[in-house]
Structure 1
């Protein structure tokens, strides 16, 4: 019957479609098939819009969204990997556009926040558990055993690759994906058996009033939503909320971003691309951010791949006008902005650089200098390099520091974002891969974590929201802000930028500290690839 409704939509028989979708919904309710229920409600809403009945359409769409929300709550890993949320994102987007057409700007913003992809990483982070305490011992041990299984397969895979036994690689890769999926399932079960299950399900979208209070007088926040034929940007300031709507095809925007990134990484001229993206992303919101001193950005989808500081108009770069900070969503700001760190003289700093990864091709001698140079700005620094920069030491002591600086290789895993990692030195207890799934269980009290990792590119352009996995994990573990790179940045320019960022840190807010460091590097190395790669996520104060 659902298909008959869709057929009526194709033939533009709106009244008939409404009747069919209503019957489908009633049937799906009776037999409790939620996957059909939300699709029927969405179809009904779409038909109502065509009939000019916006109020009824609004009711149908809101019901569809609440069905999707209950589905999300009962989610399992497989569904994530089969793009569980991709088709469901459209319901939120259509609802947001309908609300905007009806002039309901504030409500449209609330639903855009709810639509921010609750990726698996979000779900896991929403309720932090210390596995050792909350989960039965046997479950904890089962998780550890599964982890050892994963390690063994990874090691076999390395051996097979190094000896060129092509025939065995595919089988081992399949085994590895399966073992990691089982681990994710076990983690979900661990969550379900722990007491705070209700908060695991969803993070409530922040209210506009709370958000405006957090922003204060000096900051403006621009939150984007990319839809098929339109780019929406809400601008929130302490005084009001405005919205800009720009007709631009998502396909076209994607192409511009891929082109821009490609040119950045090849050190090719990028000025025209930066001008074009500025005219799409910043120019329409300029009237609403006028007079503000700090600019916050909540990207969406492919916009995560852009360094907004490198965008420019005919006169100057955006970073020359504003210090910038990013947030995975506006709602996350209620965690990152909750308390201010004291910046007294006795700040305790941890610096790790150039860990010994057992292969000289991975050595980062300048990262070692970078870690050592922090001593000049902070008297209380513990520096660990080469074989001393171990994962086990970091896990044990991470909660003791206000500033944590890690300069090493990073690896993004697009298949299992939970296994994206920073590479540190091995020890008897740990394998040296400091993974996203391990970050969640930690208690981090740092004001800032700097990941000066040489990333293996950004992975393929996927949805974009997965990309922020490592950043989110650190935020959920308690970090107030993260300084990290969007692409592989030259060692020398990174060392200069980091040195000046920390020098400014004592006297300025973090966003201004980064801005000044970037402008200094820009004078020495004008191409944005050298100075625009680092971004600040979280609390800018």
Structure 2
């Protein structure tokens, strides 16, 4: 037995037929295959040529859609569900004598929940519920639809509506002939209550012996269905016990679950249990044991690339992976394992990037002589990850995990930079130190909840300092607000407070004037050059460059713009709306292009994505003087806005950067109305910088907020002039200091930061 699970709604259908005395009323191949969890065979039997789903009879179509859902093949699932819904809308919804009018929208809800698209899941669940109510479908359908409705509402933050769905579930009549669905109702209630953090109510919902009340599952759905439901049941019970403080009972229950033969097949549930066991050990004062559990939880997390959460609808809980890293880092720090804590700081940032890029498959494979081999390895990795998540009985999860591990190892050997985008990556302190120049120090911050640490690497040694995080977010917000108002007298006050909090405690560890700063979270939005020690700004004392992570330095080490040209400048693209015109940006693009020989400028309708793709690799520097739209909520769809043309809508998205080859020494984002003034978690900035790095840029100069046009033009022209005589970092520093003489407030000069190589 593999521990795989057959489709829950099929078990409900079978139960309903048994209750109604109609068990012999069906014998279709599709239903039998789905009931056996043989989803791959369902696809072989029913998948139409050229994906012409509408050509299938509804009965075959609904089983095919179910199979796609269980196989986590969302690319085919949604077109399949569209075709099924179209048939339902025309009155065609019977399969094996069963009314499946609510099934397409229910399957869609489940998929959207797994993908984390909760608002869309709510819409699909509301449609499913409307169909059930309007058509007065049976009690079994009512329970399952109210369950997904409550889950979708809860995950979307609509607590009042989730509570209402739970109350409807509680009020359902479940006497004869519906007794068998009573336990489904109770489990559904537990899921909703756990999402709402109403743990006492969740305990009440599952306060019975699962084996006695669910013995019918062994007959109807087989041991796989029984096993799946038992694991979910036991997890919800023990999770709720833990959250209400009954830790001794939760500990005993969790330990029993960890001994279960197939717990490793339930990845999300597995690491959540390990995480909670670590927290229990920590409460018991056993730091070393807590660390061991946290490390095991991280190991499970790092076996997965996908962010698909197949457990959300099964256990009513969405785990926070970064919370596991936080607890582990804090535990290691408390145990004085500072170097290991630093390693996990790097791994946590790598995990965040992997999650950000989890849905991307079309990375450009740079010239290695093994392009086809690398693409095959990427495909094998994706296939094995889909199999691990699927519920098909033919899949051996252990074998699929082994294939995925081998594929990741092959990537790390052949294309380490690409591997760092799809697998968790960290670099030893000694190796990171080798990337620093002899007179350079690295400062890496880590901030989460009640903990903030700084790690300083100088001359191969690591020092760690605990910082005060209390009120940090409010302080950063106040600083940013004052920075964006050139008339604000409060800027120096806030700059001084942040200096005292973030920098002064490190000064004894800093032996060099050249600094590499790796920020974290809200700290990404601080212009460190503008911090003030009471006498001078940091820009007067240090040469500061940024990195998205310390480990990323190894991928920049050999980057040297290969192009023979000077500057490729794109300015003031025609966005079809005069209100978006950037007259000064156009002048700026023209002026900077004059500074270097063999430069070229494209403005208005000529400033297109095609220009970037066609000519980007031929120039040392690429200068964008255009608007941007940067979204913390969907970082991969953040974009530079260029003129649309026949081949592009003009949106040069972050997602596209990972599929491009630019091979340029520097990318400058100037005059951009970037939207980066919205302080969030930093994913938008990290995704953008790593995207340009992967495309081949050695450095990026970007602005944290929209700066006055005249000041920007003055600073940019001086920057490129200085680069004729010195390195990029020194050129930017000199340009900022020079601009400050004319425009003293940090609003005008401190917004621009260099990330990447100094030279």
Which stretch has the larger CA shift, 475-484 or 42-51?
42-51
Map residues 340-359 of structure 1 onto 2, 5 A cutoff.
Answer: 340=560, 347-359=565-577
Q: Is the 8 A contact 2:632 2:682 kept in 1?
A: no
Would you say 1:100 and 2:333 are equivalent positions? yes
Q: Is the 8 A contact 1:28 1:34 kept in 2?
A: no
Structure 1 residue 53 displacement after superposition:
2.4
Question: Cα deviation per residue 1:296-319 (whole Å; 9 max; x = unaligned)?
Answer: 111111111111111111111111
Greater RCO structure (CA 8 Å; 6+ sep): 1
Structure 1 residue 130 displacement after superposition:
5.7
TM-score normalised by the chain length of structure 2: 0.58
Would you say 1:314 and 2:514 are equivalent positions? no
Which stretch has the larger CA shift, 380-389 or 272-281?
380-389
Q: Match of 2:720?
A: 502
Map residues 441-460 of structure 1 onto 2, 5 A cutoff.
Answer: 441-458=659-676, 460=678
Work out which of the two has the higher radius of gyration on C-alpha atoms and give 1 or 2: 2
Q: Match of 2:455?
A: 234
Q: Match of 1:474?
A: 692
1:385 to 571, 594, 603: 603
Q: Match of 1:513?
A: 731
Would you say 1:265 and 2:497 are equivalent positions? no
1:338 to 534, 539, 558: 558
Mapped partners of 2:309, 2:731: distance in 1: 40
Counterpart secondary structure, 2:551: coil
Q: 1:76 to 1:31 in 2, by over 3 A?
A: closer
Mapped partners of 1:505, 1:458: distance in 2: 26
Question: Cα deviation per residue 1:64-110 (whole Å; 9 max; x = unaligned)?
Answer: 11111123x23349999xxx997110110110111111111111100
Mapped partners of 2:311, 2:730: distance in 1: 42
Q: Is the 8 A contact 1:422 1:453 kept in 2?
A: no
Structure 1 residue 409 displacement after superposition:
0.7
Would you say 1:288 and 2:506 are equivalent positions? no
Structure 1 residue 355 displacement after superposition:
1.7
Map residues 91-130 of structure 1 onto 2, 5 A cutoff.
Answer: 91-116=324-349, 117-118=352-353, 120-123=355-358, 128-129=363-364
Would you say 1:409 and 2:641 are equivalent positions? no
Q: Match of 1:61?
A: 294
Structure 1 residue 394 displacement after superposition:
1.8
Q: Match of 2:465?
A: 244
Mapped partners of 2:288, 2:308: distance in 1: 34
Question: Cα deviation per residue 1:41-60 (whole Å; 9 max; x = unaligned)?
Answer: 11221222233322222211
1:225 to 426, 436, 446: 446
Q: Is the 8 A contact 1:301 1:464 kept in 2?
A: yes
Counterpart secondary structure, 1:397: helix
Counterpart secondary structure, 1:470: helix
Q: 1:412 to 1:11 in 2, by over 3 A?
A: closer
Q: 1:359 to 1:9 in 2, by over 3 A?
A: closer
Structure 1 residue 223 displacement after superposition:
0.8
Mapped partners of 2:435, 2:694: distance in 1: 18
Q: Match of 2:58?
A: none
Q: Match of 2:138?
A: none
Q: Is the 8 A contact 2:561 2:619 kept in 1?
A: no
Counterpart secondary structure, 2:726: coil
Q: 1:349 to 1:264 in 2, by over 3 A?
A: same
Q: Match of 2:430?
A: 209
Counterpart secondary structure, 2:307: coil
Mapped partners of 1:57, 1:112: distance in 2: 17
Q: 1:47 to 1:467 in 2, by over 3 A?
A: same
Q: Match of 2:63?
A: none
Q: Match of 2:643?
A: 425
Q: Match of 1:74?
A: 306
Counterpart secondary structure, 2:292: helix
Question: Cα deviation per residue 1:216-252 (whole Å; 9 max; x = unaligned)?
Answer: 3111111111121121111112231101102323xx2
Q: Match of 2:254?
A: 21
What RMSD, in angstroms, separates the aligned Cα atoms of the two structures?
3.0
Question: Cα deviation per residue 1:146-188 (whole Å; 9 max; x = unaligned)?
Answer: xxxxxxxxxxxxxxxxxxxxxxxxxxxxxxxxxxxxxxxxxxx
Q: Is the 8 A contact 1:298 1:328 kept in 2?
A: yes
Counterpart secondary structure, 1:455: coil
Counterpart secondary structure, 1:434: strand
1:255 to 474, 496, 501: 474
Q: Match of 1:302?
A: 522
Counterpart secondary structure, 1:210: helix
Q: Match of 1:149?
A: none
Structure 1 residue 205 displacement after superposition:
0.7
Counterpart secondary structure, 2:495: helix
Unaligned runs of 5+ in 1: 137-192
Structure 1 residue 3 displacement after superposition:
5.3
Counterpart secondary structure, 1:380: coil
Would you say 1:42 and 2:275 are equivalent positions? yes
Mapped partners of 2:239, 2:333: distance in 1: 25
Mapped partners of 2:707, 2:311: distance in 1: 35
Q: Match of 1:171?
A: none
Counterpart secondary structure, 2:270: helix
Q: 1:40 to 1:445 in 2, by over 3 A?
A: same
